[in-house]
Structure 1
Amino acid sequence: MGLHINWNKSFIYPVNTVPNIEDLAYKLGGKVGELPTTYLGMPLGAKSKSSGIWSGVIEKCERKLVNWKCQYLSSGGRLTLVNSVLDALPSYMMSIFPIPAKVTKRLDAIRRNFLWKGSEDKKKYHLVKWEELLVSKREGGLNIRDLSPQNKSLIMKWLWKFASPEVSLWKEVITAKYGMEDKWMTEGVTSLYDCSVWRSIRNLWLLVKDRTKCKVGNGEKVAFWNDIWCGQETLKHAFPELHSLSQAHEASVADLWTGQGWNLHLRRNLNDWEITFIARFHDTMARATNLTEEQDRLI
C-alpha cells in the first residue's frame, strides 16, 4: 500500500510569524510545534554555536558512566570503552556543528576521570598529562581522540563534498543562497544577521584549499593562474613575469587551451631577454596532461 503520513504524530513549525497557523494545523490534522526542536537527532532552529545543543551528548556520556561504574573494569577495559564509545558519541553532532570549548572541556573531564578513577568515587591522581594521552600509540600516547581537530576534520568533509563533481540538491540550495566565490566554493558568509551552520563550515575552506591541488579534466573549473594544478605552486607564483603580462588573470585552463598549445593572451610581444621565461613555461607545461571529458576535481 505504500507509506502514508501520520498527521497525528506530525508537527508544523512556523518560521517567524505565520498567519492562521492554527487553522492550517487543524485542516491537516497535525499540531503546531515550537522551535528550537530536534529532528533526526540534530537540533533544528537553535543557534549553531550554542552550548545548549550539546546537552544531550553530555547526558548520554554520563548515562553510560552510570552503567559502567557498577562493574569492575581494568585500566585496559576503561581505555577500550573510552576509545570505542565515549569518543564516538559526539561524532554525529561534530560532523556539522562546531564544538564549543566549554563542551570540549566537559567531555574531556568525563573521559579523563573515568579513565583514571573507574568505579571509585574517591579522588585519584592523574599520572600522565591528558594532552600526552591524545597522541598515537606509536608516539607514546593512548590514541584517545582529540575532539577539537576531529570536529574540524568532520566539518571539512562537507567542503570536500561541496567541491566534488557530484550533483546534489543541498549543494544547489547552498549555491543559490550564498553565491559562488570561484568555481570551487561559495562566497564567505560575512553578514552579521546570517550566523548559519554554513558560516561555520565555510570558515574552514582555506584549511582545505591549502592542503589540496586540482586534477584537471575538462579544465572548466580550474583557474589557470590561481589554482595549483601543474607542479607544487600556482603558475602565478611560478611565472610572475608572464602573469603580469597576461590579460586573462581569471581565465580557466579550458579558456587558454587552444587544442594544440596555450594562448596566454599577452598584452605585448616578448622582448629578447624575456624569451627564457616562455621557454621555461613551455618546459613546465609539457608535463601537463591534455584535457579530457571528465570534470575537474580536487585531490
Structure 2
Amino acid sequence: GHTPFKYLGLPVGANPRKFATWEPMVNAIRGKLSAWGNKHVTLGGRIVMINAVLNAIPIFYLSLLKMPVKVWKEIVKIQRTFLWGGLSKRNRICWVKWDDFCKPKSEAGLGIRDLRLVNLSLLAKWRWKLLSPDMEVWKDVVVAKYGQEIIGKGNLGDLSIPRLASKWWSGICNLDKDTNWFSEAVEKRVGDGILTYFWNDVWMGNQALRHRFPRIYAEIQCA
C-alpha cells in the first residue's frame, strides 16, 4: 500500500504538523454542530455538549498525534463560538478567556477540558506503557526499530531520534523535552539496576541526579 492511508479515520503516515492532516477531524466537529440544527440549548447544556461530544471527536487523533497550535486554536474557536452563541450564526463577544473556562469548577471555571492537556495525557500513556513490564506486540515493533534501550527509560528526550523516525515516535520522545514533566514525575524502585539510568531516572529523592547536580553531570558529559 501507499502512505498516507486511513485507518479508523486516522491518516496513517501523514505529517501531523500540517493542518490538512487534521482537517477531516475539524470538519467533523463543524458537521456535528450543523447536525444539531437550530435547537435551543442552555449554557449548561452547551458546556455538557462540548465536553461529552465536541471534545470526544478528536480523541483518536489526540491519542496518537501531537496537536499543532493552529489546530488547537481552530477547535477552540469553534467551541467558543458555540458556547457564547449557541447554534446561531451570529458572532458574539467572548467576555472570558478560554483558559479560565478550562479551569475546574473548584477554581471558578466551567470544567471544560483543555484539549492541549488531553493530548499530552494520551501521548504520555505510550511512555508509561514503555515503562511497564507488560509484553505487547507494538513494543516489539518499536524496539526492533529504535533499539532495546528505550525500554524502561523515563527520559526519552535524551535519545538521538533517527532521521527517518516516524512523526509519532518523535512526538513521544519530545513530549516533555523542555520541562521534563513526565520523567520527573516517574520514580523508579531500584532492583538489580539493569533498567535504571543513574543520571536520568528519578531513583533517589524526587529529582533526577542530572538536575540535582548539573555541574558534575556537565563535567562528565564533557569528559
TM-score by length of 2: 0.82
Structure 1 unaligned spans of 5+: 1-12, 14-33, 250-299
Within 1, Cα distance between the matches of 2:103 and 2:148?
A: 38
2:146 pairs, out of 178, 191, 197, with 178
User: Which residue does 1:231 correspond to in 2?
Assistant: 205
Pair 1:118–1:182, CA change in 2 (3 A): closer
Q: Does structure 1 residue 145 correspond to structure 2 residue 113?
A: yes
Q: Percent sequence identity over matched residues?
A: 35
TM-superposed CA distance for 1:210, in Å, is: 1.2
1:198-213 pair list within 5 angstroms:
198-204=169-175, 206-213=180-187
The one-letter amino acid paired with 1:203 is N
2:161 pairs, out of 190, 207, 212, with 190
1:143-292 pair list within 5 angstroms:
143-181=111-149, 184-185=152-153, 188-204=159-175, 206-223=180-197, 227-233=201-207
- Which is bigger in relative contact order (C-alpha 8 A, separation at least 6)? 2
Pair 1:224–1:46, CA change in 2 (3 A): closer
Q: Does structure 1 residue 81 correspond to structure 2 residue 49?
A: yes
Structure 2 unaligned spans of 5+: none
TM-superposed CA distance for 1:234, in Å, is: 5.3
Query: Number of aligned pairs?
Result: 211
Pair 1:180–1:74, CA change in 2 (3 A): same
1:210 is paired with a residue whose SS is helix
2:11 is paired with a residue whose SS is strand
Higher helix share: 2
The one-letter amino acid paired with 2:189 is K
Detail structure 1 runs of 4+ shifted over 3 Å in the superposition: 180-183, 189-195, 216-220, 223-227, 230-239
The one-letter amino acid paired with 1:200 is G
Within 2, Cα distance between the matches of 1:71 and 1:237?
A: 55
The structure having more radius of gyration, on CA atoms, is: 1
Pair 1:227–1:68, CA change in 2 (3 A): same
TM-score by length of 1: 0.63
CA RMSD, 1 decimal = 2.8
Within 1, Cα distance between the matches of 2:210 and 2:9?
A: 46
